[in-house]
Structure formats: C-alpha cells, structure tokens
Structure 1
Amino acid sequence: MKRLFLLLVPALALIAAGMAFWLLWAGPGPATETKTIIVEQGSSLARVADQLEQAEVIRGDARTFRAFARFFGSSDPVQAGEFLIPEGLSADGILNLLQHGRPVQRLVTIPEGMPSVLVRERLMRVPYLTGAVPLPEEGSVLPDSYTYQRGETRSAVLGRMQAAMRAELARLWARRRPGIAVSTPREAIILASIVEKETAKPSERRMVAGVYTNRLKAGMKLDADPTVIYPITRGRPLGRRILQSELRDDNGYNTYARAGLPDGPIANPGRESIAAVLDPAPTRALFFVADGTGGHIFAETYEQHRANVERWYALRRARGEM
C-alpha cells in the first residue's frame, strides 16, 4: 500500500498539472464574444496581462497568465496596436496573437485633389480618433491612405500626412527637369494643385502641366477655372456656373485677372501631379478645352483653340447642357 501511495501521489500531481495546463493555458478561454484589446507602445507583458484579466478573456489572474507565458510561451515582445480576441481563444493563442498576429489595420484615405477644408472634415468624422485638429495649410497634405490606431489623436495622423508630403516633395524636387516654369517647391505645389483640379485623366497630367509651363514662360495668364472657384468655396464644389463678376475679381487667386501663379495652392495635389509639373510633357500647346469624354483637346494657336471650343459648345448644346 505504501508503494502504491508513493506511485499514486506523483500520478495525481501530474494529472492535476495537466488539468491546470489545459484549463488555464491551452484550453478554450472564457470569452463568449470577440473582445478588443489595445496594447500601448512599450507595454510590458505584466501590463498586458492585467488588461487581459480585466477584459475577462483569460482564466485565472494576470499573475498566473504571466507564469504560464514565461514557461510555455515565446520570449518575443508583445506588439503595440489594436487586437481582436476571438470568442473562446486560449491563453496560449492570445499570447501568440499579441506577439505574432496582425493588429487591426484602420485606414483613412485622402483622395488626390481634396482641399484642406475637406481633409479636416474627414479626420473629424473618423470615430476612433481623438481630439480636434486645426485646418491644415492648403497643399501640405499628401493624398494617400494612412493607417491609424484606435484612440490615436487626429493631430498625430495629420502630422504623418504632412510629413509624407514634405518627404515626397523633397524627393520629387531633387529629380526635377531643368528649365521648368517653377523655381521653388512651393511654386511646384501651387501649379500641381491646378493641374490636379483641371484633369481627371492621369494620362493628361503631364500635357496639362506642359501647357501651363508654356503659358507661364510666355507671361500669359493661366485662365484656370478652379482658381476662380477656390476663394469662393475654399475648394468645395461651386454647384453652378462661374459668374462674369467672379472672372473679373482680382483676389490673388483668380488667374483670369492676373498672369502668373495664384497666391497659394487650391487643393492638396497627389504625387503624380507634382511629378508632372516637375517633368512636363514637351509640347508647344498653349490651350486646351474639354472634349466631351472627360478629357481635353489641346491646341498650339488661338484659332485652333477657338475651333475646338466651338465644337465643345456644339456638343453641349446637343446634350441640352446649354
């Protein structure tokens, strides 16, 4: 009996240890629904274990979780970010998810040509960001998709957007073609914002930039409708035809009223429009007008341009637009 007892005690201890291992570490967790855990940058395993205990996704307490993690888990650090803990995930699975899984990726997208007033509105509508954000300087934001973490500040996300623009502008400016019409990075942004608003066809950007390059070098007015609209709406759609009084209004932006570039950008241009301004198409064209397909037809002389305009007007009359 004594020998049997001596054999039974270790066996029972092994069974108990196995049950504890299964219950507290390898077996299904207590969560009955998917829960969110946000791991702050630099968080220790102890801090994360406390979060897991409070969220009720592990069996036992945080100390027990840390002990099992040290003995049976990886020594890799936990990642920062937002994680979704599935229903019933084991403690072992949770640790692996936090160490090697993919955090939730949240994106906010700024389209090419979006003005700063709408950039601010878009950031303010993102529900998982915090704090207010000032109106960005026009032309300071690089259109792109940006990741953000739940609970991050809007000002931090805006800062990354503006840092991306500074970096991309510096990269493109260093590769600019000699003899272009702009002499500073700011002038490049101003002209690129006009190119961005003038054509929706990526294939036309360099050609439109070429026309404006030629006009600037010749001392001609740019005659760009979007520059007339900008001081009226700050980049929002006008929703009507431009008035003759607005075409005559010399407000620093109206390129029908004065030659040269306007006082500032009229939108946040994308990298392709900036690149087009810094490497415009080699052309002698000085004019362009819509062709009815979403693109434009280009002309070298005013006579050619007038003929193209008449064709455009005839097409619009046939469509009942005039």
Structure 2
Amino acid sequence: MWRHIASNAVTFLILGLFLLGGVILWGRGQYDAPGPLAQAICLQVERGSNMRAVGNNLAAQEAVSSAMVFRLGAEYEEKTQALKAGSFLIQPESSMKEIVDTVTRGGASTCGTEVVYRIGINQISTQVRELDPATSKYVERVEFTPGVDELPEIYTQTKANADTRYRIAVAEGVTSWQIVEAMKSIDLLDGTVAAVPAEGTLAPDSYEATKGQDRNTILALMQAVQEQRLAEAWEARDPGLPIETPQEMLILASIIEKETGVPEERRQVASVFINRLNQGMRLQTDPTVIYGITKGEGVLGRGLRRSELRAATPFNTYVIDALPPTPIANPGRASLMAAAQPAEEDYVFFVADGTGGHAFAQTLEEHNRNVAAWRVIEAERGAAAAGNASTGGD
C-alpha cells in the first residue's frame, strides 16, 4: 500500500514538474514574443512606481498579454529594481522583454512633452510640444516669446513635470552675441557667461539641456562641435582653393551662410566668392558691411546707406581686397562644406531673383540684366505694399 502511495506521489511530482516546466517555457515564449500593441504609445512611469503598476498599465493599454508574465519576466532578469521614471515610446508589437529593456535602460525620456528654446536670427521663442506616438512627430501645444508674451500656464505646468525634456535649438547664421544673450534669458539654465565666445566658433544645432545646467557647459559643447566640423571640412577641402587656413574657411563659410537661405545654392554662392578671390576681385557682400556696423549685436533693421558702403572699415568688402578679419556669424555644417567644396562654376556675380534665391552670372552684362529684373520686382512689391497700406490691407 505504502509503495503504491509513494509511486503515485512520485508520478504526481514528475507531472507537476513537467507542467511547471511547460508553464515556464510558455511564459518565456510570451515574454520574448512580439506583443499585441497595434499602435505606438507613450508610456508614463511615475517616480516611485514599480513593475507591477507598470505591467498593469501596459495590460490596460493592450501593450502586453499578461501583466503577471511581464512582472515575473522582469524579476527573472533581475531588472525590477532598475525601473526608471520617465516617458518612454513603446513601438507596435514590442515584446515584454523589449519594453522592460526600455524602461530600465535610463537616459532621457524618449517621448512625452518637450520644451524647445529656439534661438533665431531675428527673435528667440519658446515652444512646448508633445510627441504623437502614432506618427513619431512632435505636435506644437504653444509657442511664445520670452520677455514679450505672458508665460503660458502650460509652460509652467510642463516645467514642473520631472520627465519633461529640454532642448536649445540654434539657427544657422546666428551670431555668438545673439546666442549668449538668448541663453541669458532661458530660465532653465544657470551660471554667468563671462565673455562672448569668438564669432563663428559655436555650432548651430539642437542641444539637450537639463534644469540648472551651467550655460558655459552648453557653450563649451557648441564650441567642441564646431571645432570638429571645421576640422572635417578642412580635411575634405578641394585642392587649390585660395584659402590658406581653417580660420579663413570659417570666415568664408559664415559669409555663405548669411548670403543665402536656400540650401541648394550654398555651393554656387561659394563658387562666386572663390572665383572672386582667385581673380583678385573684391567680395562686395552686404552682410560683411552690416556686421562691421552691428558687431553682431542684433540686426541692422534697415538698408545700408551709401556712406556705409564707401566707409573704409575692416569688414567692408566693397573696400578691402580680401576676406574680413573674423567670421560674421556662426555657419552650419552645410556652409562649411560649401566653402570646402564649392561648385565648379564660372559665376562671379549674383543678385536676388524674387523667389528667395539668386540669379547667377558670369559676365557683368548678364549681371546688369539680372539686377534690372530685380529692380522691377522691387518696384512692383513696393507699389503693392503702398496700395495695401492705402486701402487698409486684407
């Protein structure tokens, strides 16, 4: 009898172990398999949360098939204590394993709300935007001008959220003075900037920022990025260019940056200046004259006077025979590469064509025709503006 009972017990134990093994294998398969999520979501993990709460949240959003398997899988991988607070983008069909990796990896949030401080040539603005998980694109919620507009309530609320991301976006062609002045107005940052970095040495780009971060730390990063970009452009430069140093390339790139806002024109504009330097012609470019007047501290806000075009200053390229002594703005990567690898064209003239771009010419006769066409466009626009003003506009 006892032998029969023992035999049955062993049988049940083996069966139980077999079933347990099967459950484990099933759970492992569920944990590693593609998940049921049909559309990307932004998963919010609050501070002080745990894997049980996260699993329940995911199950409620139909991102995982089992909250328990999610939690047990995280425990098995010993990642339960590594849970990070933040906002995480969970892609469709993400497995439980992939989601656990995402919420325990650390680093900046990958979705949710972001505040972008935009430093432009004519103004600075602050934008609050939110990632739409379905499209992986940001949707603007509000944009305002600091110091001019009243602080929106949504901005104050967003800054109070621990997982809000911050970026500082610097436009191409902004001067170093403009960047420093703008950063002084960003209430997110800390630290006093003792001196404005040399013109041209700050790389236009988008930079991650954190609350209380020192302004000098971000400026140092901008300088390091620009130094690397300049070195790469100098290394990749075409042979035979009339540019003797990386600094001269930086100066030329800054002029290209200020002369055109059309990306595909940069190399053509570069070819004009390279051809002029090769032929001993003066560059005759208005942005250098303007910089000589403003020193990069804001915009001129008016047209150049004849006296200013004739004035003998180090930045007046209508008077001097070479490049100005320093850059006149902070050029982007594309303008640096345009200076390093200009288009192979014979152009030595260009003028606005009314479309936002320029008309290029090889001869003075052709250039004069282009200038005449531009004058007609200017006159028509002036007449239209005067007509709108007299009728009150639309």
After TM superposition, give the deviation of residue 99 of structure 1 in Å: 5.3
Q: Could you state the TM-score of these two structures normalised by the residue count of structure 1?
A: 0.70
Q: CA 1:262 to 1:115, structure 2 compared with 1: closer, same or farther past 3 Å?
A: same
Matched, 1:112 2:172: yes
Question: Which residue among 126, 129, 142 is the counterpart of 2:189?
Answer: 129
Aligned-partner Cα distance in 2 for 1:266–1:129: 27
Give the counterpart letter for 1:269 in structure 2: P
Matched, 1:281 2:327: no
Give the counterpart letter for 1:247 in structure 2: L
Give the counterpart letter for 2:79 in structure 1: S
Question: Which residue among 304, 310, 319 is the counterpart of 2:366?
Answer: 304
SS where residue 207 of structure 2 aligns? strand
For 1:126-161, what per-residue CA distance to the aligned partner results, in whole angstroms no more than 9, with x for missing partners?
221101223121000110001122111000000000
The match for 1:229 is 290
Matched, 1:206 2:267: yes
Give the counterpart letter for 1:149 in structure 2: T
Confirm or deny: 8 A CA contact 2:51 2:83 kept in the other structure: no
For 1:252-275, what per-residue CA distance to the aligned partner results, in whole angstroms no more than 9, with x for missing partners?
111011111001100000000010
Indicate the larger mover: 221-230 or 249-258.
249-258
After TM superposition, give the deviation of residue 234 of structure 1 in Å: 2.4
Aligned-partner Cα distance in 2 for 1:120–1:221: 32
Confirm or deny: 8 A CA contact 1:209 1:276 kept in the other structure: yes
Question: Which residue among 272, 294, 302 is the counterpart of 1:240?
Answer: 302
Q: CA 1:318 to 1:102, structure 2 compared with 1: closer, same or farther past 3 Å?
A: closer
Give the counterpart letter for 1:266 in structure 2: I
Count of residue pairs brought into register by the alignment: 251
After TM superposition, give the deviation of residue 71 of structure 1 in Å: 12
Confirm or deny: 8 A CA contact 1:115 1:234 kept in the other structure: no
Q: Could you state the TM-score of these two structures normalised by the residue count of structure 2?
A: 0.58
Residues 19-58 of structure 1 mapped to structure 2, 5 A cutoff? none
Question: Which residue among 165, 170, 176 is the counterpart of 2:237?
Answer: 176
Aligned-partner Cα distance in 1 for 2:381–2:203: 37
Identity of aligned residues (%): 42
Confirm or deny: 8 A CA contact 1:76 1:99 kept in the other structure: no
Question: Which residue among 139, 143, 157 is the counterpart of 2:204?
Answer: 143
For 1:67-119, what per-residue CA distance to the aligned partner results, in whole angstroms no more than 9, with x for missing partners?
xxx9996388788xx958xxxxxxxxxxx957546445311011000111111
Matched, 1:74 2:79: yes
Aligned-partner Cα distance in 2 for 1:292–1:26: 60
Q: CA 1:83 to 1:284, structure 2 compared with 1: closer, same or farther past 3 Å?
A: same
Superposition RMSD in Å? 3.0
The match for 1:268 is 330
Aligned-partner Cα distance in 1 for 2:189–2:86: 16
Aligned-partner Cα distance in 2 for 1:291–1:114: 24
Give the counterpart letter for 1:184 in structure 2: T
SS where residue 188 of structure 2 aligns? coil
Aligned-partner Cα distance in 2 for 1:257–1:293: 29
Confirm or deny: 8 A CA contact 1:108 1:147 kept in the other structure: yes
Aligned-partner Cα distance in 2 for 1:254–1:72: 67
Matched, 1:156 2:217: yes
Aligned-partner Cα distance in 2 for 1:26–1:178: 60
The match for 1:187 is 248
Matched, 1:254 2:259: no
Confirm or deny: 8 A CA contact 2:200 2:251 kept in the other structure: yes
Aligned-partner Cα distance in 2 for 1:156–1:250: 38
Q: CA 1:173 to 1:78, structure 2 compared with 1: closer, same or farther past 3 Å?
A: farther
Indicate the larger mover: 105-114 or 267-276.
105-114
Confirm or deny: 8 A CA contact 1:139 1:269 kept in the other structure: yes
Q: Relative to total residues, which structure has the larger strand share, 1 or 2?
A: 2
Give the counterpart letter for 1:206 in structure 2: R
Confirm or deny: 8 A CA contact 2:174 2:329 kept in the other structure: yes
SS where residue 351 of structure 2 aligns? strand
Residues 66-105 of structure 1 mapped to structure 2, 5 A cutoff? 74=79, 100=106, 102-103=108-109, 104-105=164-165
Give the counterpart letter for 2:327 in structure 1: P
Give the counterpart letter for 1:272 in structure 2: A
Q: CA 1:158 to 1:27, structure 2 compared with 1: closer, same or farther past 3 Å?
A: same
Aligned-partner Cα distance in 1 for 2:243–2:107: 47
Give the counterpart letter for 2:263 in structure 1: P
Aligned-partner Cα distance in 1 for 2:343–2:329: 22
Give the counterpart letter for 1:158 in structure 2: L
Q: CA 1:77 to 1:283, structure 2 compared with 1: closer, same or farther past 3 Å?
A: same
Confirm or deny: 8 A CA contact 2:50 2:80 kept in the other structure: no
Q: CA 1:135 to 1:100, structure 2 compared with 1: closer, same or farther past 3 Å?
A: closer
**Higher RCO (Cα < 8 Å, 6 or more apart):** 1
Q: CA 1:239 to 1:173, structure 2 compared with 1: closer, same or farther past 3 Å?
A: same
After TM superposition, give the deviation of residue 120 of structure 1 in Å: 0.6
Aligned-partner Cα distance in 1 for 2:227–2:379: 45
